[in-house]
């Protein structure tokens, strides 16, 4: 199985192919330095690409989701999928589909599911991460909590990747873009080109200044 075979497969999910391939490339590069983490597994589309990149490098992907769906995926909402409803509870349950995706791709020894709320898992987390992909809840509260709970675990030189960055507010919600801007304003990250709506920031290596930090200092000095 390689990334070209992945491209021919169908997954339930919301990610454009070029974005998924970018995730694969980033995970393949980063995962030799430490585990990767994604927040928002859903049915495994992004995990398939991130996981494939990790596998080729002997790495690990932690894939975190409570599997109860985001606000917009609930019954009656825009992204509701009736096939993902658990008849026993009447609520969403994406975990069986996610497991099937990982099993079909033989990624069980690479992708480690974490079935819980993001902030709960973050509470006692202590492992440095080489890549963090934020694609969980898309309200401002959810996106900000995912960023603030996890960003301190990103190792120097690691990637912070945020999905659904829409420079034009007419095209999509602005919470991910707002948090992306906060990260950039911290001065700790270098901005890499967007791929579709996938924002990619690289945490500066220890001992290096970022363009944003130089700009901030230049503005103050006048």
> Given the complex with ligand SAM, which of 13 and 53 has the nearer CB atom?
13
Q: What CA–CA distance (Å, rounded) separates 149 from 119? A: 6
Q: Tell me how far, at minimum, the Cβ of 69 lies from ligand SAM, in Å.
A: 5
Residue 67 known to be catalytic? no
- In contact, 3 and 24? CB cutoff 8 Å: yes
Active-site entry in 10, 66, 67, 138: 138
Minimum distance of ligand SAM from residue 122's CB (angstroms): 10
User: By beta-carbon distance, which residue lies closest to ligand SAM?
Assistant: 13
The Cα 115–Cα 158 span in angstroms is 24
Smaller CB separation from ligand SAM, 3 or 157:
3
Q: How far is the CB of 15 from ligand SAM (least distance, A)?
A: 4
CA distance 218 to 222: 6
Residue (53 or 136) nearer to ligand SAM, CB:
136
* Residue numbers at the binding site for ligand SAM (CB under 6 A): 13-15, 40, 42-43, 45-46, 64-70, 94, 117-118, 135-137, 142
> What's the start-to-end Cα distance of the chain, in Å?
55
* 191 phi, psi to nearest 5 deg: -90, 125
Rounded Cα gap, residues 128 and 158, in angstroms: 9
Question: Among all residues, which ones are annotated catalytic?
Answer: 138
């Amino acid at each position: 199985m390689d990334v070209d075979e992945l491209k021919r497969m169908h997954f339930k999910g919301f990610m454009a192919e070029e974005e998924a391939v970018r995730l694969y490339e980033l995970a393949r590069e980063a995962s030799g330095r430490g585990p990767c983490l994604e927040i928002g597994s859903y049915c495994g589309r992004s995990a398939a690409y991130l996981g494939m990149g990790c596998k080729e490098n002997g790495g690990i992907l932690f894939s975190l989701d409570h599997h109860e769906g985001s606000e917009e995926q609930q019954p009656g909402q825009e992204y509701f999928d009736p096939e993902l409803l658990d008849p026993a509870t009447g609520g969403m349950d994406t975990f069986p589909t996610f497991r099937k995706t990982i099993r079909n791709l033989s990624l069980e020894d690479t992708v480690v599911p974490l079935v819980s709320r993001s902030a709960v898992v973050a509470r006692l987390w202590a492992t440095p991460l080489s890549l963090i992909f934020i694609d969980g809840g898309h309200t401002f509260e959810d996106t900000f909590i995912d960023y603030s709970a996890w960003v301190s675990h990103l190792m120097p030189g690691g990637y912070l990747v945020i999905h659904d960055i829409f420079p034009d507010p007419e095209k999509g919600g602005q919470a991910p873009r707002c948090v992306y801007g906060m990260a950039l304003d911290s001065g700790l990250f270098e901005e890499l080109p967007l791929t579709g709506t996938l924002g990619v920031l690289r945490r500066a290596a220890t001992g290096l200044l970022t363009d944003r930090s130089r700009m901030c200092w230049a503005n103050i000095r006048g």
